[in-house]
């Protein structure tokens, strides 16, 4: 059918409109595409460039240098040494066991080490470098480097490893580092990536552990180019980490070495404190161990030897060991009674060798008794019966309160592991822990530092410093951080009655300087360095009535672990106290015969820049002392490990 001119015109208009609409739509789409392309190529170019870089660039962490630890004179106690090591990348090496067996032909690598290395390699992603061996010699590293073409995926590297130049001397105080374990990671809610680096080391005990956050530092990083499967192609940039903070401790290396050498052969501990500041100058625990063994990975045989030693070399007895303080506690009992006005200095108590209380006999250490004793003579000769009498008058509540004022029964804020709080018993403690009421016999036992009472050598040193100064001396172990001196803790006055304190001091002076004093044989004859002290002997096992009737055997006739603990505390000089010392010898026998001579020698070393002068000893003892000091000098060596001794500032 033929269309009319009007129909043809309407049809052309419709086609034109559709064409215009379609063309407009195309123009809009093209415009939108152009605008989007401009946004992608110009406005968002940096963002997409970064995404592209992330596909070809990896960032790997670099361990920082660990902070140094020094003694009060700047002698290095814990440092970092250059360490040659071998790393393996599994994806480049192929079969890791075969690669390690080839490597074993060049460096010492046993079957057990290969098994351990394979397990560690398989725990990580194929392109993560895993340390196979470290602390290699230069000759071993050069052999590996020379054979590099035959050892794909195996590379020698240079890093830093922890080193303790004085070995056992500071093992308990400074501690040691070791590889991060699964337990270490589990103990942290969000472990930082640095801890996930294979074989990265952190502090395990001592200052190394307690100040880990300060010593660790901040990680560095390196930017490396990798291919599509993650293989490293080349290093693009490197930023080294921030080293950890350096720690200067209050310890004196020469004095620490002398104290540890003097304790040699015993299971013992000694603490030296500067009274004016509370600075801990020595914190010795014997026997000790070499912390470098743990850094390198201690063998099963070496670890079992330490663990099975009955002298417990891995225990820091100076702060972890809790012992009955024995007669070193008697000053506390006296102060509790005298401050309450329940006794006077002139009053005398008769000691027939025992006291009967509540149907039970409590014996004095001298079976025949001391006769009539006042406070000074009771301290000097360590009469038990005198303090039994004072304890009945003042009761456990006053004794407990006085012991707390003098530093017993609590932990001090020091960066040391597993510090014990000892035990300052009370009525409430016994009721809560044993569901029993406090008995008068408990008070009698506590009055001479037996029964439930326990204290650490550090606490005894603090007690002695507080007795010497009548101030609340608080121990300090960190002297400076990155060269910034740390504040000395406040030492508020204890306000103990001065008249009573004079009698306490006089009793301690006579203990070491009067012919009837229990520590007279350990006196210092140099007038300006005379010391005041108190011996202590604490029973480990109770003596039964049958044993006492049969005649108690001498200490040396008993098995070692049944012998008494020997204790001694002292301060010097007697007229202007500067230092306090506490010594505990586990199962040492008598405090006067074993602990007091050690305490005297350590005090003389403290007063004389690390070495006792022979003229400070009684004349008859000098030949024996000279021989002993020669032996100790060989053990101590130079103060800095290389040159002449450094005196304490």
**Model confidence over 54-90: pLDDT tens digits?**
556 666 677 889 999 999 999 999 999 888 888 888 8
CA separation (Å) from 322 to 26, 316, 417?
Answer: 90, 11, 14
Of 108-117, 133-142, 495-504, 639-648, the poorest mean pLDDT is in: 639-648
**Among 239, 233, 241, 238, which Cα is nearest to 57's?**
233
* Cα-based angle 489, 280, 214 (whole degrees, multiple of 5): 70
SS3 per-residue string spanning 535-579: EEEECCCCCCHHHHHHCCCCHHHCCHHHCCEEEEEEEECCCCCCE
Question: Is 166's pLDDT higher than 60?
Answer: yes
The listed CATH number (3.20.20.70, 3.40.390.10, 3.90.1310.10, 3.30.2130.10) that belongs to domain 59-249: 3.90.1310.10
Q: How big, in percent rounded to 5, are the helix, strand and coil portions of the chain?
A: 45, 20, 35
Output the six-digit token pair for 627.
């021989």
Q: What is the pLDDT of residue 109?
A: 85
* DSSP 3-state of 122: helix
> For the segment 454-512, what is each residue's pLDDT rounded down to a tens digit?
999 999 999 999 999 999 999 999 999 999 999 999 999 999 999 999 999 999 999 99
Strands (E), 126-259: 130-136, 154-163, 176-179, 201-205, 220-226, 232-239, 247-249
Measured CA to CA, the distance from residue 641 to residue 631 in angstroms comes to: 17
Structural contact between residues 155 and 189, judged by C-beta atoms closer than 8 angstroms: no
Measured CA to CA, the distance from residue 517 to residue 463 in angstroms comes to: 21
Structural contact between residues 323 and 455, judged by C-beta atoms closer than 8 angstroms: yes
Q: Residue 185: enclosing H or E segment and its boundaries?
A: helix 182-186
> For the segment 268-290, what is each residue's pLDDT rounded down to a tens digit?
999 999 999 999 999 999 999 99
Write down the architecture of domain 253-299+316-636 according to CATH: 3-Layer(aba) Sandwich (3.40)
Question: Is 20's pLDDT higher than 80?
Answer: no
**Among 370, 518, 511, 538, which Cα is nearest to 448's?**
538
Question: Is 550's pLDDT higher than 70?
Answer: no
Q: What is the pLDDT of residue 374?
A: 97
Measured CA to CA, the distance from residue 484 to residue 236 in angstroms comes to: 37
| Average pLDDT of span 233-259 | 89
Identify the band that residue 51 occupies on the pLDDT scale cut at 50, 70 and 90: very low
Question: Is 2's pLDDT higher than 70?
Answer: no
| Higher-confidence position of 469 and 228 | 469
Residue whose entry in the numeric block shows the structure tokens 């034109």: 16
Question: Is 642's pLDDT higher than 50?
Answer: no
Q: What is the pLDDT of residue 34?
A: 75
**Among 257, 246, 129, 139, which Cα is nearest to 198's?**
129
Identify the band that residue 49 occupies on the pLDDT scale cut at 50, 70 and 90: low
Measured CA to CA, the distance from residue 618 to residue 625 in angstroms comes to: 10
Q: What is the pLDDT of residue 649?
A: 31
Measured CA to CA, the distance from residue 570 to residue 353 in angstroms comes to: 27
Strands (E), 478-544: 478-481, 484-485, 532-538
| Higher-confidence position of 422 and 637 | 422
> For the segment 412-452, what is each residue's pLDDT rounded down to a tens digit?
999 999 999 999 999 999 999 999 999 999 999 999 999 99
| Higher-confidence position of 9 and 387 | 387
Q: What is the pLDDT of residue 223?
A: 77
Structural contact between residues 573 and 530, judged by C-beta atoms closer than 8 angstroms: yes
Domain boundaries, the chain: 59-249, 253-299+316-636
* pLDDT over 70 percentage in the chain: 89
Q: What is the pLDDT of residue 306?
A: 94
Measured CA to CA, the distance from residue 224 to residue 307 in angstroms comes to: 45
Q: What is the pLDDT of residue 643?
A: 39
Provide the pairing of β-strand 280-286 with 268-274.
Answer: antiparallel
| Average pLDDT of span 585-589 | 94
Residue whose entry in the numeric block shows the structure tokens 């000279």: 626
Measured CA to CA, the distance from residue 274 to residue 258 in angstroms comes to: 17
Measured CA to CA, the distance from residue 346 to residue 573 in angstroms comes to: 26
Structural contact between residues 592 and 601, judged by C-beta atoms closer than 8 angstroms: no
Identify the band that residue 175 occupies on the pLDDT scale cut at 50, 70 and 90: very high
DSSP class of residue 40 equals: I
**Among 62, 96, 559, 476, which Cα is nearest to 271's?**
476
Q: Which residues are identified as catalytic?
A: 327
Measured CA to CA, the distance from residue 500 to residue 572 in angstroms comes to: 19
* DSSP 3-state of 303: helix
Structural contact between residues 360 and 441, judged by C-beta atoms closer than 8 angstroms: yes
Return phi, psi of residue 81, to 5°: -120, 155
Q: What is the pLDDT of residue 644?
A: 35
**Average pLDDT along the chain:** 88
Residues in the chain: 649
- How would you classify residue 217: left for phi > 0, otherwise alpha for psi between -120 and 50, otherwise beta? left
Q: What is the pLDDT of residue 648?
A: 30
* DSSP 3-state of 2: coil
Residue whose entry in the numeric block shows the structure tokens 């009771």: 378
Question: Is 222's pLDDT higher than 80?
Answer: no
Instruction: Please give the span between the terminal C-alpha atoms of the chain, in angstroms, as a whole number.
Output: 123
Identify the band that residue 42 occupies on the pLDDT scale cut at 50, 70 and 90: low
Measured CA to CA, the distance from residue 584 to residue 323 in angstroms comes to: 8
DSSP class of residue 588 equals: -
| Higher-confidence position of 622 and 7 | 622
* pLDDT over 90 percentage in the chain: 61
Q: Residue 524: enclosing H or E segment and its boundaries?
A: none
Q: What is the pLDDT of residue 481?
A: 97
> For the segment 276-330, what is each residue's pLDDT rounded down to a tens digit?
999 999 999 999 999 999 987 888 899 999 999 999 999 999 999 999 999 999 9
Q: What is the pLDDT of residue 40?
A: 62
Structural contact between residues 488 and 277, judged by C-beta atoms closer than 8 angstroms: yes
| Average pLDDT of span 133-157 | 82
543 C-beta neighbours (distance < 10 Å), count: 11
**Among 391, 371, 392, which Cα is nearest to 381's?**
371
pTM score, two decimals? 0.84
367 C-beta neighbours (distance < 10 Å), count: 11
Burial class, 187, CB count within 10 angstroms (exposed 0-12 / middle 13-18 / buried 19+)? exposed
**For the ranges 41-50, 192-201, 394-403, the one whose mean pLDDT is highest:** 394-403
Structural contact between residues 284 and 260, judged by C-beta atoms closer than 8 angstroms: yes
SS3 per-residue string spanning 395-450: HHHHHHHHHHHCCCCCCCCCCCCCCCCCECCCHHHHHHHHCCCCCHHHHHHHHCCC
Measured CA to CA, the distance from residue 226 to residue 11 in angstroms comes to: 65
> For the segment 519-532, what is each residue's pLDDT rounded down to a tens digit?
999 999 999 999 99
Q: What is the pLDDT of residue 553?
A: 62
* DSSP 3-state of 442: helix
138 C-beta neighbours (distance < 10 Å), count: 9
Residue 509 C-alpha from the chain's centroid: 33
Q: Where are the alpha helices (DSSP H) in 340-426?
A: 375-381, 384-405
Question: Is 102's pLDDT higher than 80?
Answer: yes
């Amino acid at each position: 059918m033929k269309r009319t001119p009007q129909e043809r015109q309407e049809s052309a208009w419709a086609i034109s409109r559709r064409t215009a609409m379609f063309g407009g739509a195309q123009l809009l789409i093209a415009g939108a595409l152009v605008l989007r392309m401009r946004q992608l190529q110009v406005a968002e170019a940096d963002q997409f460039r970064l995404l592209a870089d992330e596909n070809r660039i990896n960032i790997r962490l670099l361990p920082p240098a660990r902070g140094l630890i020094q003694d009060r004179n700047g002698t290095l106690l814990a440092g970092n040494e250059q360490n040659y090591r071998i790393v393996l990348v599994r994806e480049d090496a192929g079969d890791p066991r075969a690669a390690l067996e080839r490597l074993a032909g060049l460096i010492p690598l046993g079957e057990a080490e290969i098994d351990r290395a394979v397990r560690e390699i398989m725990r990580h992603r194929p392109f993560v470098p895993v340390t196979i061996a470290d602390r290699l010699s230069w000759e071993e590293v050069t052999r590996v480097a020379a054979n590099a073409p035959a050892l794909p995926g195996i590379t020698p590297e240079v890093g830093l490893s922890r080193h303790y130049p004085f070995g056992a001397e500071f093992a308990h105080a400074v501690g040691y580092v070791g590889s991060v374990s699964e337990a270490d990671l589990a103990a942290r809610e969000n472990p930082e990536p640095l801890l996930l680096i294979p074989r990265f080391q952190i502090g395990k005990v001592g200052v190394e552990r307690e100040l880990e956050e300060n010593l660790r530092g901040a990680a560095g990083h390196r930017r490396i180019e990798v291919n599509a499967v993650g293989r490293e192609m080349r290093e693009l940039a490197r930023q080294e980490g921030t080293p950890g903070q350096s720690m200067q401790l209050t310890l004196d290396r020469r004095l620490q070495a002398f104290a540890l050498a003097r304790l040699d052969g015993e299971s013992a501990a000694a603490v030296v404190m500067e009274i004016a500041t509370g600075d801990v100058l020595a914190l010795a625990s014997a026997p000790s161990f070499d912390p470098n063994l743990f850094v390198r990975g201690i063998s099963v045989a070496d670890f079992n030897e330490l663990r099975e030693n009955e002298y417990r070399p891995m225990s820091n007895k100076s702060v972890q060991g809790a012992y009955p303080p024995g007669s070193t506690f008697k000053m506390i009992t006296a102060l509790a009674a005298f401050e309450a006005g329940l006794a006077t200095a002139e009053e005398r108590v008769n000691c027939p060798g025992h006291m009967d209380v509540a149907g039970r006999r409590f014996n004095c250490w001298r079976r025949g008794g001391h006769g009539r004793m006042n406070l000074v003579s009771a301290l000097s000769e360590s009469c038990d019966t005198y303090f039994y009498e004072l304890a009945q008058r003042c009761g456990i509540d006053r004794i407990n309160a006085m012991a707390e004022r003098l530093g017993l029964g609590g932990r001090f804020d020091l960066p040391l592991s597993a510090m014990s709080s000892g035990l300052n018993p009370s009525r409430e403690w016994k009721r809560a822990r044993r569901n029993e009421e406090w008995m008068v016999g408990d008070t009698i036992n506590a009055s001479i530092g037996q029964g439930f009472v326990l204290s650490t050598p550090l606490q005894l040193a603090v007690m002695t410093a507080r007795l010497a100064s009548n101030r609340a001396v608080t121990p300090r172990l960190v002297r400076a951080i990155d060269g910034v001196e740390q504040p000395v803790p406040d030492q508020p006055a204890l306000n103990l009655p001065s008249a009573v304190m004079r009698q306490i001091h006089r009793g301690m002076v006579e203990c070491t300087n009067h012919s009837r004093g229990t520590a007279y044989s350990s006196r210092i004859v140099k007038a300006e360095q005379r010391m005041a002290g108190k011996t202590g002997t604490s029973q480990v096992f109770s003596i039964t009535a049958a044993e006492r009737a049969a005649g108690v055997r001498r200490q040396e006739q008993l098995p070692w672990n049944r012998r008494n603990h020997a204790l001694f505390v002292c301060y010097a000089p007697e007229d202007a106290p500067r230092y306090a010392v506490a010594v505990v010898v586990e199962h040492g026998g008598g405090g006067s015969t074993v602990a007091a001579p050690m305490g005297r020698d350590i005090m003389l070393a403290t007063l004389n820049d690390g070495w006792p002068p022979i003229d400070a000893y009684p004349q008859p003892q000098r030949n024996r002392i000279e021989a002993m000091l020669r032996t100790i000098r060989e053990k101590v060596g130079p103060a800095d490990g290389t040159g002449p001794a450094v005196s304490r500032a």
